[in-house]
Amino acid sequence: MAQSIYMAGVLVGALVLGGLSDRFGRKAMLMWSYLQLGVMGTCTAFAPNYATYCVLRFAGGMALSGFGLSIACLVVEWIPTSHRAITVAITGFAYTLGQILLAGVAFAVPHWRRLQLTVSLPFFGFLLYSWWLAESARWLVLSGKAEAAVKVLQRVARINGRKEEGEKITVEILRSHMKEELAGLKASYSISDLVRTPVIRHIFFCLSIVWFSISFSYYGLAMDLQNFGVSIYLIQVIFGAVDFPAKLVVTISLSYVGRRLSLMVALFLAGLAIIANIFVPTELQTLRTALAVLGKGCLSASFNCVFLYTTELYPTPIRQTGLGFGSTMARIGGIVAPLVKMLDESYPLLPPAVYGVAPVVAAAVAAFLPETLNMPLPDSIQEVESRAKRKPKEDPKEKIPLEPQEKAP
């Protein structure tokens, strides 16, 4: 019950905090999420009763969504296209490392209240150093805060050892290179903008299916992996360890093969591994375990792909909202997965078949998404719509604010 309430909090947080980030900024929502995670987690450790515990867990789940979505947007909106895949992969490796470390911490601190306190207090430290992080310059410009964007870019230029180039950046330069995006801005944006125009609507429905399917199969497979017959600490380590090779391979694929094909292959292999396990006799436990771990690794790689892909497909004004709704669909998938698992008693083959078919269907749906490899981030809905009607060309706006332009011979 408490875990379901926590997942409901994650779902609500993805919807609410995603939109607030597009309105108030990535850094502001990241800092708020750190504070909320620290306070709610610490209070949970001292919860006097079960009802209070559930309320605090719900609030902590909301903050988790805000943290993850804000980090993803900051990374994508700051990192140049050529380094974006590897940067997202590094953040993914950090998540995996945390998953493995959690097993050791839980083993060392078995009492749940002390464990809760141990994993919650570090967020206050994260809150302090997050003051140093820079707000997204893209968001600042598109929110009418060009002067603040110039200051942020000049600060970044100094850190990168390009102080002279940074001093050349002015409000006029920023606005001249984003005049089309600025001209197409509305006073405000809402979740309705995800379905208002045809191309964005197409992207929205395809990504919703992909997000749902990945999470649905991931949690369905996770429930089967818990039947290893080993300690929960070892399961936690296995969950994390398989992510390293999976994410390494998909990072290389994202950079050289492309986002769409990488996502399709990872989803298809995950579904194939889950379906193949249906036909493996229960006596061959090692083979069944290997296929399950392979499927889990492919689904983890799919998560890496879809996080990066989603942020590159949606334009800046609704990027966090779109990512938030995708995360919401993932949480719905996580909630539905246990319900399908309940059919195991009456129809033993049905749950694994459904868990396997879902990512295969999602792989087919992903084929209808546009490729974003080596393309600049879109900054307006009109830009996304126009890209579908013409062959994209290299856009200098991706590097002008951060790198000096090469002089013509």
What six digits make up the tokens of 162? 């390009």
Q: Give the pLDDT band of residue 201 (cuts 50, 70, 90).
A: very high
Helix (H, G, I), strand (E, B), or coil: what is residue 160? coil
In tens, the pLDDT along 44-84 reads: 999 999 999 999 999 998 998 888 888 888 888 888 877 88
Helix (H, G, I), strand (E, B), or coil: what is residue 197? coil
Between 69 and 269, the higher pLDDT residue: 269
With both helix axes pointing from N to C terminus, report the angle between 81-108 and 243-256 in degrees, rounded to the nearest 10. Answer: 170
- Amino acid at residue number 252: I
Q: Return d(Cα 371, Cα 402) in angstroms, integer.
A: 24
Q: Return d(Cα 49, Cα 53) in angstroms, integer.
A: 6
pLDDT of residue 25: 87
For the chain, percent of residues with pLDDT exceeding 90:
30
pLDDT of residue 126: 92
In tens, the pLDDT along 90-123 reads: 887 888 888 788 878 888 898 989 999 999 999 9
In tens, the pLDDT along 350-380 reads: 888 999 999 999 999 999 999 998 888 888 8
pLDDT of residue 409: 43
Global pTM reads 0.75
3-7, 164-168, 378-382, 401-405: which range is least confident on average?
401-405
pLDDT of residue 391: 54
Give the H/E segment covering residue 280: none
Taking residue 8's Cβ as centre, other Cβ atoms within 10 Å add up to 17
Q: What is the average per-residue pLDDT within 323-337? A: 87
* Exposure class string for 41-71: b at 16+ Cβ within 10 A, else e: bbbbbebeeeeebbbbbbbbbbbbbbbbbbb
23-37, 180-194, 234-248, 271-285: which range is least confident on average?
180-194
Q: What is the average per-residue pLDDT within 249-265? A: 92
Task: Round the average pLDDT of the chain to a whole number and report it.
Answer: 84
Between 297 and 100, the higher pLDDT residue: 297
Taking residue 280's Cβ as centre, other Cβ atoms within 10 Å add up to 16
- Amino acid at residue number 233: Y
Q: Return d(Cα 300, Cα 266) in angstroms, integer.
A: 9
What six digits make up the tokens of 184? 């197409």
pLDDT of residue 198: 93
Contact 62, 7 (CB under 8 A): no
Contact 285, 367 (CB under 8 A): no
Q: Which of 21-35, 120-134, 357-371 has the highest mean pLDDT?
A: 357-371
Taking residue 286's Cβ as centre, other Cβ atoms within 10 Å add up to 9
For the chain, percent of residues with pLDDT exceeding 70:
89
Angle at 268 between CA 330 and CA 299, to 5 degrees: 40
| pLDDT above 70 (res 407) | no
pLDDT of residue 132: 87
Helix (H, G, I), strand (E, B), or coil: what is residue 9? helix
Q: What is the average per-residue pLDDT within 234-240? A: 72
In tens, the pLDDT along 163-190 reads: 888 888 888 877 777 665 565 555 567 7
- Amino acid at residue number 137: A
Give the H/E segment covering residue 227: none
Contact 331, 64 (CB under 8 A): no
Q: Return d(Cα 259, Cα 359) in angstroms, integer.
A: 16
